[in-house]
Every structure is written in C-alpha cells, then in structure tokens.
Amino acid sequence: MTRKIDILDTTLRDGEQSPGCSMSPQEKTIVARELIRLGVDVIEAGFPVSSPNDFRAVSEVGSIAGDKAIVAAFSRAIEKDIDCAAEALKTAARPRIITGIGVSPTHMSDKLHMSEDEVVECTTKAVAHAKSLVDDVEFYAEDAGRADADFLVRVVQAAVDAGATVINIPDTTGFCLPEEYGALIAAVAECVKGIDDVKLAVHAHNDLGLATALALAGVRSGATQVECTINGLGERAGNTALEEIVMAIRMHGDELDAHTDIVTSELTRASRLVSRITGMSVQANKAIVGANAFAHSSGIHQDGVLKSRSTYEIIDPAEVGASGSDIILSARSGHAALRHRLQELGYTFEDQEFEGIYERFLEIADQKKEVYDEDLESIVQEFQRDVSAIYTLKALQIQCGDPLVPTAVATIIDENGETHVVSTTGTGPVDAAYKAIDKVVGIESDLQEFAVKAITRGIDAIGEVTVRITAQDGRVYNGRGADNDIIVSSAKAYINAVNRMIEASRARG
C-alpha cells in the first residue's frame, strides 16, 4: 500500500490573499462545503486575528465540517494571534492551530529584526502555547526555501520538541529548483529527531511556475502533507494547484509511493465554484480544469483521439468531472473530425458529397476561429440547397458607400456549367446584387420579404437571410442563404428562391 498524502487546502486563507479574491464568511462556507465533498483532509479556513470576518469564517467552517475534515486557523508566532485562533476554532470537532515564523536570513534581519537564537526561542514558546490550547499544532518555517539548512533543522527540532504535530517547510517565494527543495525536505527528515512521529508538509508558491514540481519533489523526499489551493490561487503567482498535485499523484502513485483520498470527480466542479465566487477566471489552457484541458483542434490529434482517447489524453475527463473530450472544429481540423461531428448531429454523406461539404467547411473555418454546430447545420442546409440548384452563385463583389454608387459584380454558374459574369448598379448593395441575378436568370419577380439573423456565436457569426419572392402568376417562393458576409447571404437566399420558382414552373409544364 502506498503512503497516504494529506491534502491541506488553503484556498480560504492563502488563496483569498490573491488581489481581488476576498470572500465573505458566507462564501467561505459555500467553498468549504465543496472542499468537504472533495475529500480534503484539512481546511485552512482563515487568519482569525486579521479581521472579524475571518474570525467568523473560521468559526462557521468549523461548525459545518464536523469530523469530516480538520479545520485549521492561521496565526503568527504571537500569543494574541494564537489565542484568537483557538477561540475561533471552538466550533471545530478537529481543530488545528497553524503558527510559525520566518527563518531565512532576509526574513530574520529585514522583517523580524531577530537573531537566530531569538527565532528559535520564539518558535518554542509559540508552539508550546498553541499546544496548551489544542492537540494538533502545525509549525511553518516561513521562507524555508531560502533558509540555511542547518539553521532550519535547528528551528524544526525546537518545534518538534515543543509538541508540534505537523512541520511545514514552505518555499514561500517559489525560489527553489525542485531537486533543491526535495533535498531540503530530505535533510529535515533525516536530521530532526522525532520527525517520524509528526507529519512533514510542503507548501510551494508558483513564482517561477514550479509550484507543482516543488510539491512533488517534496512528496518524493518524504513529505506526507501537501498544502495547495483550488485553481492555484494565492499571493503573487499563486500556490500549488490542488487539482494538479492530486492528479499527478494519481498518475504516478507507484513511483512516488503515494496516494490521496481526494474525490477527483469533484475537481471541475470545485474549480468552477471558486472561479465564480472569487471572480478569478481560470485560463483556458490551465492543466486539469481549464476549458482546453480536454479540447483538440489539430487534425492529427483529433484523428488520434477519435480512434483511441489515450493517444493524446492521459486522463479520462470523467475522472475529474469534466463533460468529455472536446473536438474543436477549426481550419486545422481534418476529414475525420468533421465527419465524426456531422454524424453526431445526425448527418451521413457519401464520399463525393462529403468532399463538397468539407470544402465549404474549410472556407468558413478560414474566416472563423472556431466552427460551431450551428455553422455545420447551415453548411449542410446550404449544400443540400445547392445540390440540385439551377443557378449557383460562384462569386460576388460589391462596391458601395458614400458617395459611391452601389455596384455588384456577380459570377453565376447555370445548370449546364456555363459561367455568367454580370455587373449592375442599384440603390444599395443588396439591390445591386439582386439585379445582377435577375440579369442572368431572365425571370421577373417581386421581393416581398427580407429578414436577416445571426445563427452562430461571436462577432464573426454566420448570418442567415430569408427572402420571400412573388412570381408573375402570384405564387410565393421562399429562399434561404447563409454566409459570414450578409450581402453574400442575401444573394444566396435570392438565388435559392429563384431556383425554387423555376423548378416549380418546370414541374407544372
């Protein structure tokens, strides 16, 4: 059996320290309920002495957690902080006080103005005082990543001797390389007497984009608790992302001799909840929970995934609560992806028909970042209209504006394959286009109705035009056309109506 790695979630404390991400006590309880469903081992609920709202939040989280999770309160190595944390935790069935002090040269000299001996003495007093109030005490050696290793061992030894049950070795500034951080954890594990009787924790920041790698290095070196946040929220560049460390351990449990008890199917839900409450959007290419985490737009990748998901996905989307693999249709998509999506929409075509649709798809894809289902529906309908078309619009060029006279140059192919190029003017671009079509077909009709609507999303949406024309005998015919260019849509719709009118006339003899 692999080692159990505890997950301490500090979204409600360290994550909330991201600029603009503060949460009300009520919002913190909402997130805490999701963290409980997620199965985190420890919820760091806040810093009680910092504000009345934080005190209230810690108290409320404690009251809802019951015995499902340890509830922790943060404090500095100051007696009033520790007392306040203990008071806020009175509602918790499993309380933990987290207390600590800076141990790097810059923290001791520039921030604390304390000597090494004073830091060790402060550590002993703080841990002992916290221990007199609760059974579970975590000591953090702030900025341990930049501390002298021998001094770090000395401080940690003092904390263990004073009764700490958890020792946290944070790389507060995300400064270390993973192998350096792993060596630091290994040194503490080897040199501190009694360390086997306490949990050894890692807490990494993402200043160099290495937070997850740092945490994994710590786990490999003996850490049994990882401190992290949903979506990697946290000060500056953030903390280790819970979803990343959990899935990395899940994928490499044997190599790391590690596992967690996290309910991974809740990861996507938790990510979206925290994003919604904090207003901090998750970048599309974010690992595990980003919108593109299981999206494929390359034709080569799409073909592989459609044949076997494992070709380009190491995680089943269902494992993390995602809806599934997403084939993004774009100019880079190939035949396999388009055919697959059309089949999902209920359309099947012979190879020759499909090639015509694929060519039209590429035309649309070259104009848009993404081709949506509505676009495909429009392409198919347009293709079906054009298959038996008597006249087909091949090209249309419009000049209009003030003071220009609206002019249309239309290239139209008839049913015999003959190409007609005509140029006309009109009162507007649509009128000019319609007069050009009339000039080729040689049949008079009256335009009774003209309507346009966007049928897809975005500023580059396809516009569909619907027209109604009346023939000389009074019969009414409808026509539809779709294109990114509204004028082209208008011309296609008009030709579609004219084709219907000619077909009906021929049918009557």
pLDDT at 10 over 60: yes
pLDDT of residue 384: 60
pLDDT (tens digit per residue) in 132-161? 999 999 999 999 999 999 999 999 999 999
* Domains 295-381 and 388-508 alike in fold: no
DSSP string, 86-144: HHHGGG-SSEEEEEEEE-SHHIIIIII---HHHHHHHHHHHHHHHHTT-SEEEEEEETG
pLDDT of residue 449: 84
Architecture of domain 388-508: 2-Layer Sandwich (3.30)
* Nearest by Cα to 95 from 125, 130, 126: 130
pLDDT at 122 over 90: yes
For the chain, how long is the longest CA-to-CA vector?
108
465 membership: H or E segment, kind and range? strand 463-470
Minimum mean pLDDT among 4-8, 336-340, 393-397, 405-409: which range?
336-340
And the tokens for 159? 């904390």
H-state helical runs in 299-399: 299-307, 335-344, 351-367, 373-387
Rounded CA gap, 237 and 15, in Å? 11
Q: Per CATH, which fold does 295-381 belong to?
A: Recoverin; domain 1 (1.10.238)
Rounded CA gap, 187 and 175, in Å? 18
pLDDT at 429 over 70: yes
Output the pTM of the full model: 0.72
pLDDT of residue 508: 73
pLDDT at 386 over 70: no
Q: How confident is the model at residue 457 (pLDDT cuts 50, 70, 90)?
A: low
Q: What is the mean pLDDT of residues 375-393?
A: 71
The mean of the pLDDT values for the chain is 90
pLDDT of residue 485: 86
pLDDT of residue 206: 97
Q: Is 238 left (phi over 0), alpha (psi -120 to 50) or beta?
A: left
Q: Per CATH, which fold does 3-278 belong to?
A: TIM Barrel (3.20.20)
Q: How confident is the model at residue 21 (pLDDT cuts 50, 70, 90)?
A: confident
- Please state the domain extents for the chain: 3-278, 295-381, 388-508
pLDDT (tens digit per residue) in 52-82? 999 999 999 999 999 999 999 999 999 999 9
pLDDT at 49 over 90: yes
